[in-house]
């Protein structure tokens, strides 16, 4: 929702897609969501730029190994920086720019098979609730955009939206964007 407010063209495009598909039905269900290609791309781009668990869960190496010339001993604690992976210039063009379009016609997904995008992690420790998490986010966003028109509060600008996060295993917004709280 924050990215939608910051990029109103994207908000309008997502909303148009949902409303065109659903018409006057009154609500969006799980089956409908499968037809929302742009909304899914918006969510992917959000996962890429603002992953919920920026450092995944810590790992420990089984045995010693060598990575890019560095000797890594066994039982080394490893943090995988999912946040930085989403901003890697070798993978993504203009990675810091919010651009859901990059995912249209792109095979990269977040289900743990593409290491360019790991908002749910990968391997044995991959998020067990990924499908539930994705379904919840997709359904909520689709219904919020279908039923309501969104705009900034009077006196508030896009520049006032603060994306800074509180450090921790999961990233929460540091400041609520509502100016009167």
Binding site listing for heme: 127
Helices assigned H by DSSP within the chain? 2-6, 8-22, 30-33, 37-49, 82-85, 130-147
121 scored as a contact of ligand HEM (CB under 6 A): yes
Nearer of residues 52 and 61 to ligand HEM, judged by Cβ = 52
* Segment contacting ligand HEM by CB under 6 A, of 26-34, 89-97, 121-129, 152-160: 121-129
How many Cα atoms sit within 13 Å of 133 on the Cβ side?
15
Q: Least Å distance between CB 160 and ligand HEM?
A: 26
Q: Are strands 172-173 and 59-60 parallel, antiparallel or unpaired?
A: unpaired
Nearer of residues 100 and 119 to ligand HEM, judged by Cβ = 119
18 scored as a contact of ligand HEM (CB under 6 A): no
126 scored as a contact of ligand HEM (CB under 6 A): yes
H or E element at residue 72: strand 70-72
Q: Least Å distance between CB 46 and ligand HEM?
A: 10
φ, ψ (nearest 5 deg) of residue 104: -75, 125
* Binding test (CB under 6 A) with ligand HEM, winner from 6, 95, 98, 137: 137
Buried b (16+ CB within 10 A) or exposed e, 47-85: bbbbbbbbbbeeeeeeeeeeeeeeeeeeeeeeebebbeb
Nearer of residues 106 and 169 to ligand HEM, judged by Cβ = 169
Site of interaction with ligand HEM (CB under 6 A)? 52-53, 56-57, 119-122, 125-129, 132-133, 137
């Amino acid at each position: 929702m924050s990215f939608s407010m910051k990029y109103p063209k994207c908000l309008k495009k997502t909303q148009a897609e949902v409303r065109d598909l659903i018409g006057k039905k009154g609500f969006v269900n799980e089956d409908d969501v499968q037809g929302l290609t742009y909304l899914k791309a918006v969510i992917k781009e959000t996962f890429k730029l603002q992953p919920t668990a920026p450092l995944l869960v810590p790992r420990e190496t089984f045995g010693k190994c060598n990575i890019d010339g560095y000797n890594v001993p066994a039982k080394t604690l490893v943090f995988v920086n999912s946040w930085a992976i989403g901003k890697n210039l070798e993978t993504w063009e203009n990675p810091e720019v919010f651009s859901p379009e990059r995912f249209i016609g792109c095979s990269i997904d977040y289900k743990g098979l593409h290491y360019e995008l790991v908002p749910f992690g990968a391997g044995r420790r991959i998020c067990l609730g990924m499908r539930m998490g994705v379904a919840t986010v997709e359904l909520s966003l689709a219904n919020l955009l279908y039923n309501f028109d969104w705009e900034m509060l009077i006196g508030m600008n896009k520049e006032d939206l603060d994306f800074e996060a509180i450090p921790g295993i999961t990233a929460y917004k540091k400041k609520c964007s509502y100016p009167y709280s």
